[in-house]
Amino acid sequence: MNTMTYNGYHARIEFDAEDEVFFGKIAGISDVIGFHGDSVAELKKAFHEAVDDYLETCRKIGKEPQRPYSGKMMFRVAPEVHRRAALAAELSGKSLNQWAEEVLEEAADHFAEARLSA
């Protein structure tokens, strides 16, 4: 996976072989912000400009810009998974939130490392 990061925003980068252009979209927000470039340098510049333009537009219209992530996660799991996770957290002397954060961070790091080495 090819990604770029700027000013706290992340984008996934792809290449369109037919049009011979790199393009990207900012990830983690519902506002749609895309950009493109013919070279890596152009793509990077376009990404920075897209983020800066987004923040400036939000400022001008009085809208709070969306940030990629709030730190709040809410999801459902099977009761048995919940029970085992709560038990693992308790036995490790941590709250379920602390335990889950560590497990998710480790899994995300492992995923990112695997993607970088591919």
Query: Is 86 within a domain?
Result: yes
Domain count, the chain: 2
Instruction: Determine the distance from the C-alpha atom of residue 6 to the mean position of all C-alpha atoms in its chain, rounded to a whole number.
Output: 12
Q: At what angle do helices 79-91 and 96-117 cross, to 10 degrees?
A: 100
Both 55 and 83 in one domain: the answer is no
Query: Which uninterrupted H or E stretch holds 100?
Result: helix 96-117
Query: Is 67 within a domain?
Result: no
Q: How many Cβ atoms from other residues are within 10 Å of residue 13's Cβ?
A: 19
pLDDT digits (tens, 9 = 90+) for 72-113: 888 899 999 999 999 999 999 999 999 999 999 999 988 888
Give the residue from 69, 10, 56 showing the smallest Cα distance to 35: 10
Percent of the chain residues past pLDDT 90, beyond the cut = 76
Q: What is the rounded CA–CA span in Å between residue 92 and residue 99?
A: 8
Structural domain boundaries enclosing 101: 79-117
Query: Is 85 within a domain?
Result: yes
